[in-house]
Amino acid sequence: GYTVKQRKPVTGSYQGYGVKSMPPPSSGGVLLVQMLGVLEGFDLKGHGYDSAWTVHRMAESMKRAYAMRAKGLGDPDHHTVDNADYMGAKVIKRLKSEVAASKRATPSAKIGQVVVRPEERTDTSHFGVLMANGDAVGCTQTINLLYGSGRMAGKTGVVLNNEMDDFSALPGAPNAFGLVGDVANAVAPGKRPLSSMTPTILLKDGRAVGVFGTPGGSTIITTTLQSILNVVTHGMDVSAAIGAPRVHHQWYPESLLIEEDALSPDTRAILRGLGHTFKPREPYGNAMALWRLEDGTLTGAADPRGEGTAGGVGDVPQDGLTGATP
């Protein structure tokens, strides 16, 4: 149903020049004419193009323009937009006096409130269940990267994956997670790509005592490894085990990837002395761990880096479910 629309440009003026620019549904023209109008009132030339005086006034004018864009602008065929509200003499006069009065940077929140939505991560998802009766589930699901293949199965709402990048496209060529592969993982009809997903259940005397897992592409395996080591070997409770800074090595790149807080300066120095090199990494992964203590208490923790949570329902043992929920 798309048709080309011809629209009238927005018009304004600046220091003796006529200005014609793109009208809504671009916000460009109205904001540009507004900011030029506001800044025309200040001696920018006298203060220099990159002086603090000039940049302060530009910034004050810009943030007001973009706040107005956010609140009011949209496709004029669907939403009434009066360009004069954005670039008319009245609004320019008001903004000019606000900018002139701003002795310091105006906090954005003072210009207008915005609903800040919690960021939804694009990760693969992992969840686990550990039950008093010994049943356990470890489940990781992946569509690989953002929106998978961008296709939905019919009207189900189920987004189809795009796992082709989990194949080795060419021996030695890294994929999106920097993983290299060889012919064993080459693309072929009917073949499933190599995954790093590691949903894991730990058993003691045949009974499930722990559930571990995380998203994180190539780092999934080493994150799960460290979660288990932290609980089983280092005796950490599940919250500490999941929260602890992580290190990761995947052969190539050759460096040890380390989260910012990982390893003390002396540990780093000793490792450097052993020939290790480091590559700092933003916090990664969104791990979870469930662990049955010897007295039967079920404990659970979700990653403070992520948006998960741990909780207990139903027939929880007497001592209840302990552990952190971020």
Can 124 be counted among the known catalytic residues? yes
Q: In the complex, what is the shortest distance from the CB of residue 317 to ligand DON, in angstroms, rounded to a whole number? A: 33
Nearest-angstrom CA–CA distance, 69 and 200: 49
Q: In the complex, what is the shortest distance from the CB of residue 159 to ligand DON, in angstroms, rounded to a whole number? A: 13
Contacting positions for ligand DON (CB under 6 A): 123-124, 142, 144, 163, 166, 195-197, 215-217, 220
Q: In the complex, what is the shortest distance from the CB of residue 118 to ligand DON, in angstroms, rounded to a whole number? A: 18
Q: Which residue among the candidates 54, 80, 124, 322 is catalytic per the annotation?
A: 124
Nearer to ligand DON, 100 or 176 (CB): 176
Handedness of CA 229, 235, 241, 244 (dihedral sign): negative
Q: In the complex, what is the shortest distance from the CB of residue 195 to ligand DON, in angstroms, rounded to a whole number? A: 3
Nearer to ligand DON, 43 or 120 (CB): 120
Nearest-angstrom CA–CA distance, 62 and 27: 13
Inter-axis angle of helices 28-39 and 89-101, to 10 degrees? 60
**Residue burial 14-38, b: 16+ Cβ < 10 Å; e: rest:** eeeeebebebbbebebbbbbbbbbb
Nearer to ligand DON, 11 or 125 (CB): 125
Nearer to ligand DON, 194 or 271 (CB): 194
Active-site residues, by number, are: 124
